[in-house]
């Protein structure tokens, strides 16, 4: 990674403004999954051990800039973090009105700011009204960009060093993730950001061969750019999930009531042809677990690639799992994004679980990205067998698409 990290700067006596990704699930004021909090602890501890004062920024949920909303408050996260760190965590109830608390912060102290997305300037986006002219819309966007800069400048005043450890938000050009860097001299990556970029970078820049990509999920449209970018790098692509049935229909198979994007049938044909031309093997399911309803208690059966009219495919079948596992066993590098079926329902989880087990047994450098894939790995109990589980769904997807991430680009080069 050619970006500076907290290893490259002196932090003693400095106020470190640290962007974390604490967008965690909360029910009745209790965090139900603190994976992202735990992932941030190494960076926090290094800063504190070096004698820095920490000011933490994060978003939570999608409050859409409407001001304070209790369900999106980061106060429960601050309380949870205090227990995880074993030290007090102060809380600022307004991220832009925390100047006095920041000024009083001593080395070794931690202050968490309230949800940055309580301000619409954080995201900096505007919608065009139906009756709005292009000229007025352009002016509205320009005004918002200026307000976003003002917010970023106000946040920047809190710190001496800016550290971005929120890989999950690195694909957003928000006030606290990218714009802020324009107003600070030292902008560096945290340890989690460094780790994410290192592993994902290895996969897309210099992968060990054979390189197998496993791409699943509901729609081809959501993964098309990933497929196109990975096709330049991988040896084999294994396709599962709902997106597989657009490809199978494009090949002339009957897919019943399975999920399909009819408008992308030609795109699917072109993708298969491009893979053949590039010498990349794309494997599609050869059998499927089908159901007579999208329901956990539906009637099911295993069929080949001709699916009866009133039935829908909700998972890859056992023969497909066997074939995919054989490909994974030969791999030196595996990237997985998207489940093989509706794994949330036990009857349709075998395909995703089978892929999990195959990756765990492979010994390959394995990188898991995407919220559903990560959830599936955690559900399988095999998370500790994976080389790297990304904390950023959208960010990891855009990285695999070959896109530059604004929150990374904005950091200082080494």
| Residue written as token pair 């490909």 | 327
Residue range 176-195: mean pLDDT, rounded:
96
Q: 0.75 exceeded by the pTM? A: yes
Token duo for residue 331: 């791999």
Domain architecture of the chain: domains with CATH: 6-189 (3.40.50.1260), 197-400 (3.40.50.1260)
Residue range 57-67: mean pLDDT, rounded:
91
Give me the chain's average pLDDT, please.
Answer: 93
How many whole angstroms separate alpha carbon 17 and alpha carbon 323?
A: 49
How many whole angstroms separate alpha carbon 383 and alpha carbon 190?
A: 23
Q: Is the peptide bond before 218 cis (omega within 30 degrees of 0)?
A: no
Which of 15-29, 212-226, 391-405 has the lowest average pLDDT?
391-405
Give tens-digit pLDDT for 357-366.
999 999 899 9
Q: For residue 1, what pLDDT is reported?
A: 64
Q: For residue 77, what pLDDT is reported?
A: 96
Residue range 336-349: mean pLDDT, rounded:
92
3-state secondary structure the chain: CCECEHHHCCCCCCEEEEECCCCCCEECCEECCCHHHHHHHHHHHHHHHCCCEEEEECCCCCCCCECCCHHHCCHHHHHHHHHHHCCCCEEECCCCCCHHHHHCCCCCCEEEECCHHHECCCCCCCCCCCCCCHHHHHHHHHHHHHHHHHHHHHHHCCCCEEEECCHHHCCCCCCCCCHHHHHCCCEEECHHHHHHHHHHHHHHHCCCCCEEEEECCCCCCCCHHHHHHHCCCCCEEEECCCCHHHHHHHCCCCECCCCCCHHHHHHHHHHHHHHHHHCCEEECCCCEEEECCCCCCCCEEEECCCECCCCEEEEECHHHHHHHHHHHHHCCEEEEECCCCCCCCHHHCHHHHHHHHHHHHHCCEEEEECHHHHHHHHHHCCHHHCCEECCCHHHHHHHHCCCCCHHHHCCCEC
pLDDT at 370 over 80: no
Which of 77-86, 302-311, 388-397 has the lowest average pLDDT?
388-397
User: Are the C-beta atoms of 275 and 230 separated by less than 8 Å?
Assistant: no
Closest CA to 77 of 96, 66, 92: 92
Closest CA to 36 of 167, 202, 162, 163: 167
Q: For residue 400, what pLDDT is reported?
A: 78
User: Are the C-beta atoms of 343 and 349 separated by less than 8 Å?
Assistant: yes
Residue range 260-289: mean pLDDT, rounded:
95
User: Are the C-beta atoms of 211 and 234 separated by less than 8 Å?
Assistant: yes
Query: What residues contact 86, with CB distance under 8 A and at least 6 apart?
Result: none
Q: For residue 193, what pLDDT is reported?
A: 94
How many whole angstroms separate alpha carbon 405 and alpha carbon 250?
A: 33
What is the C-alpha R_g of the chain?
23
Distance of CA 202 to the CA centre of its chain: 17
Could you give the residue numbers annotated as active site? 36, 219, 371, 394
User: Are the C-beta atoms of 337 and 396 separated by less than 8 Å?
Assistant: yes
Give tens-digit pLDDT for 198-254.
888 888 788 899 999 999 988 888 888 888 888 888 999 999 999 999 999 999 999
């Amino acid at each position: 990674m050619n970006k500076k990290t907290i290893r490259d700067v002196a932090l003693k006596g400095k106020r470190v403004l640290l962007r974390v990704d604490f967008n965690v699930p909360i029910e009745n004021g209790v965090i139900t999954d603190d994976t992202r909090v735990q992932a941030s602890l190494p960076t926090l501890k290094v800063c504190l051990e070096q004698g820095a004062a920490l000011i933490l920024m994060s978003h939570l949920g999608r409050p859409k800039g409407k001001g304070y909303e209790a369900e999106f408050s980061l106060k429960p996260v601050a309380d949870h973090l205090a227990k995880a760190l074993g030290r007090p965590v102060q809380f600022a109830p307004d991220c832009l009105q925390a100047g006095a608390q920041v000024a009083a912060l001593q080395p070794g102290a931690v202050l968490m700011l309230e949800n940055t997305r309580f301000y619409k300037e954080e995201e900096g986006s505007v919608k065009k009204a139906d009756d709005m002219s292009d000229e007025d819309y352009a002016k509205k966007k320009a005004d918002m960009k200026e307000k976003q800069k003002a917010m970023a400048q106000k946040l920047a005043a809190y710190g001496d060093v800016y550290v971005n450890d929120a890989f999950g938000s690195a694909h957003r050009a928000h006030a606290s993730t990218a714009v802020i860097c324009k107003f600070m001299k030292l902008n560096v990556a945290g340890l989690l950001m460094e780790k994410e970029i290192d592993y994902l970078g290895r996969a897309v820049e210099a992968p060990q061969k054979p390189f197998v990509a496993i791409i699943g999920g509901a729609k081809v449209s959501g993964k098309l750019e990933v497929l196109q970018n990975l096709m330049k790098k991988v040896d084999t692509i294994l396709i599962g999930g709902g997106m597989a049935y657009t490809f199978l229909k494009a090949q002339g198979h009957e897919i019943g009531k399975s999920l399909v994007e009819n408008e992308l049938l030609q795109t699917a044909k072109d993708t298969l042809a491009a893979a053949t031309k590039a010498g990349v093997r794309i494997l599609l399911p050869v059998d499927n677990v089908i159901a007579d309803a999208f329901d956990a208690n539906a009637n099911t059966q295993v069929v080949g690639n001709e699916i009866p009219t009133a039935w829908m495919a909700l998972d890859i079948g056992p023969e497909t799992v066997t074939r995919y596992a054989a490909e994974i066993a030969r791999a030196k590098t595996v990237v997985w994004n998207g489940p093989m079926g509706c794994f949330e329902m036990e009857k349709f989880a075998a395909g995703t679980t089978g892929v999990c087990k195959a990756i765990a047994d492979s010994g390959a450098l394995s990188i898991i990205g995407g919220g559903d894939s990560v959830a599936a790995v955690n559900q399988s109990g095999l998370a500790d067998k994976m080389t790297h589980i990304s904390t950023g769904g959208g960010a990891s997807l855009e990285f695999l698409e070959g896109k530059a991430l604004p929150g990374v680009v904005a950091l200082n080069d080494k």
